[in-house]
Amino acid sequence: MQPSDKISLYRSLFLGREDIYARRWEKSGNSGYSPAYSFNWDEFNAHRAQGGSLKNFENKTPIPLTDNIIH
């Protein structure tokens, strides 16, 4: 089976949003899934230093689900 066939099969089995996807994380024995965003780390770290979080950080862009990400 070719990689493109596997991607098509995956997409047919897991239908849903294509404008964003979830990324798995693990930290200190905990794990979970969070939305995948693209953002400037320097801006985010300045925001976080002022008590902000990713949830209320406005300069983030959702990363769409593409065949390349599935691959």
CA distances from 40 to 20, 23, 36 (A): 18, 18, 13
The predicted pLDDT at position 15 comes to 85
Tell me whether residue 24 is in a domain.
yes
Tell me whether residue 27 is in a domain.
yes
Tell me whether residue 8 is in a domain.
no
The predicted pLDDT at position 67 comes to 93
Model confidence over 3-43: pLDDT tens digits? Answer: 899 999 989 998 888 999 999 999 999 999 999 999 999 99
Determine the structural domain holding residue 55 and report its residue range. 17-70
For the chain, the three-class secondary structure string (H helix, E strand, C coil) is CCHHHHHHHHHHHCCCCCCCCEEEEEECCEEEEEECEEECHHHHHHHHHCCCCCCCCCCEEECCCCHHHHC
The predicted pLDDT at position 16 comes to 86
Tell me whether residue 64 is in a domain.
yes
Tell me whether residue 3 is in a domain.
no
Location of structure tokens 């990689």: 3
- The yes-or-no verdict on residue 53 having pLDDT over 90 is yes
Total domains present in the chain: 1
Q: Residue 5 and residue 28: Cα distance in Å, rounded?
A: 37
Tell me whether residue 48 is in a domain.
yes
